[in-house]
Amino acid sequence: SQKIEQNSEALNIQEGKTATLTCNYTNYSPAYLQWYRQDPGRGPVFLLLIRENEKEKRKERLKVTFDTTLKQSLFHITASQPADSATYLCALDNNNAGNMLTFGGGTRLMVKP
Amino acid sequence: GAVVSQHPSWVICKSGTSVKIECRSLDFQATTMFWYRQFPKQSLMLMATSNEGSKATYEQGVEKDKFLINHASLTLSTLTVTSAHPEDSSFYICSAGSKGGWGNQPQHFGDGTRLSIL
């Protein structure tokens, strides 16, 4: 069966450090992978999209990698700040379902001052 | 960026009540809108895909007679939870894609509706 796995345990890091979140998938062949941020009681906010033929994408302090061989995406936040504390969701387009997005369970990031 | 407005933000009502949730795309035309449900500390689960002017497509296990979706215009989709019961209590979120919302485009989400059925 298809699975998207993100670490369900919260990631706690110190302010200024780099946060790295992982998204692993099985039985998918996504052409696109997206990352979203979700704050408590709010809807997700789009951050980055990376295509299968792209190894890396950057936006300000954010960096996403996409390894289709390992079936894994890494999401990095450099120089992390307490304001970066949130839940981060990865989402894959599902070729078997009209390319609609399927979301992982999310990883909660806590950045301590 | 694209703005999606969802209303109401929270609802508390008695069992048996029907509740309507509105999702509006404020600055773009959304030919497709998506409705999700999210339980605490869990991921978003797609309930249905709503296409303007046609019937919604429901995911497996989602009762279409229970969750009525209407997408009468390019800027408005509604979800009505009919005869709601406590097990329907959840966080409901809509999203819209600027070009259909498929995997190659970001989805723009509303801020969700917290539904609590007593």
Could you tell me which residues come within 8 angstroms of residue B61 by beta carbon, excluding any fewer than 6 positions away?
Answer: none
Interface test with A, best of B43, B51, B95 (most A CBs within 10 A): B43
CA B36, B39, B40, B42 dihedral sign is negative
Read out DSSP for A83-102? GG-EEEEEEEEEGGGTTEEE
Chain A: closest CA distance from residue B73 (Å): 21
Judged against a pLDDT cut of 50, whether residue B100 lies above it is answered with no
pLDDT tens string B53-66 = 788 999 999 999 99
Q: Could you tell me the CA-to-CA distances from A41 to A61, A87, A88, B52 in Å, in that order?
A: 25, 11, 14, 27
pLDDT tens string A31-87 = 889 999 999 999 999 999 999 889 999 999 999 999 999 999 999 999 999 999 999
CA distance A43 to B112: 6
* A chain contacts of residue B2, beta-carbon cutoff 8 Å: none
Query: How many other CB atoms are found less than 10 A from the CB of residue A87?
Result: 21
Greatest extent of chain B over all pairs of C-alpha atoms, in Å: 41
Query: How many other CB atoms are found less than 10 A from the CB of residue B73?
Result: 13
Look at B107 and A101 and tell me if their CB atoms are within 8 Å.
yes
Interface test with B, best of A101, A103, A107 (most B CBs within 10 A): A101
Mean pLDDT in residue range B69-86:
92
Look at A106 and B43 and tell me if their CB atoms are within 8 Å.
yes
Q: For all residues of chain B together, what is the average pLDDT?
A: 89
Chain A: closest CA distance from residue B78 (Å): 17
Residue of B nearest to A35 (CA): B106
Coil, strand or helix at B4:
strand
CA distance A17 to A81: 8
Of residues A80, A47, A81, the one with CA closest to residue A64: A47
